Amino acid sequence: MSQPPPLPASASASAAAIAAAVRAREVSAQEVVDEHLARIARVDPTLNALTVVFPDRARAAAAEVDAALAAGRDPGPLAGVPISVKENIDLTWSATTNGWRGLADAVPARDATIVRRLRQAGAVPVARGNMPDFGMRWDTDNDVFGRTLNPWNRERSAGGSSGGDAVAVATGMSAIGLGNDFGGSLRLPAYAAGVVGLRPSRGLVPRAAVQGQPVALTLQQFSVNGPMARRVDDVALALQVIQGWDADDPVSLAAPVVRLDGLPRRIGVVRDLAGLELDPEVAAGIDRAAASVSRAGWEVVDVEVPLIEEAAVLWRRLSCTDMLISLDPAALGQPLGRSATAFLRDSTAAARPYETAREYAEAWARRAALAAEWRRLLVEVPVLLGPVSVARMREIDYDLGGQEAADRAWRDLWLTVVVNFLGLPALALPTGLGADGMPTGVQLIGPAFGEQLLFDAGRAIEAAVPGLGPIPSLG
């Protein structure tokens, strides 16, 4: 069963518990931040999850939270909660490098909307999370900050691209990690590190400000910002804070009122992925999750999702077509890092980017037909339960090494990238440890703006599956 909650001042406490304790003045925000900074100093030198740490600024921000409480003011629902912010999300305290040397001095003039909202809610940034160049890989490494290691097994990948924030959350260096997801970049690191990661519905959470510069269509359609945390409730709390319309992001919108109460309380288990073989440990994690929701009163049925291979192929070809344009070294002014260059070369060669405007337009037109098939399925079966990856978390640099490695890495994630292709919400969460000592996990997929359904099912799983326990390498 799940582990009992730690003490509120602990660096392993939930974000909700930390905020409640700070608001009740059982512990000060400064004490919480100091404990997390001490944790960072002990843990991060061997894991390299964080690129920049903000001890002075974080302590000053925590003092502001304590001062507000002392004056009888409400500091917000995330009072004193330490957060980490991925290197591609604007935070004025340091450069938004995107993990690339060409942006080493790109200090933003203002915080991203989601960072501003979290800070207004009382959260305290303590550090930046590592990532690959422009978030392109399914591992976390770059020429500026180096590699982030998986605390469960340092020979296995930490996932990407939000690997730094996932490891920070898993190891108690931050309580909430802020990242983004273009092709699994929140859910895969969450799976690798054993934390909860939410890919919100397209448009629900604002992305980067658009200030006169063109934005690739795949970035507009496939990529979203979202939170990671150690508990489902913490992710739900963070979503409440960061969601909603933003004048700087034309894709963002006010959270719509979606009628969920009339939908059947039914979960479809996805085991057949167009012939892809599930690792036995992955299948066992799915079985544990399915049994948990069944005991909680959900009807559980097996489903075969429609046209998954075609959707995954379209996601890949469209993505690689846009990446070749937007990440052209001639346009950037200098090359990508070594591993990012290899990944782009191998992935685009394997994906066969579109060569004509007609092909590109036809691919986007086909997307509507596939989205309609999935929408009809999600009316009958409002929540899908399946793997984040069909494989156990693979070795470091598993997504490099030529076209064969690129194909394997992509096939592992068909169900994951299709979610991006369709703009749907998905929640990744752990389901205990496998025999290899690594976390197992699943993802829950729902209809557009059906995040509450995912949280309900996720809580049922979280309450029933075995807890992960402490990470052995951390003592």
Among all residues, which ones are annotated catalytic? 86, 161, 185
CB atoms closer than 10 angstroms to residue 274: 14
Helices 113-120, 232-242: crossing angle, 10 deg rounding: 110
- 3-class SS letters over 396-440: CCCCCCCHHHHHHHHHHCHHHHHHHHHCCCEEEEEEEECCCCCEE
Which residue, chain included where needed, has tokens 């290197």?
A: 87
Task: Kindly provide the residue ranges of all beta strands, DSSP E only, lying in 80-174, ordered along the sequence.
Answer: 82-86, 124-129
Helix, strand, coil % in the chain, rounded to nearest 5? 45, 15, 45
Q: Which amino acid is at 133?
A: D
Nearest-angstrom CA–CA distance, 396 and 400: 9
β-pairing, 176-181 vs 224-229, is: antiparallel
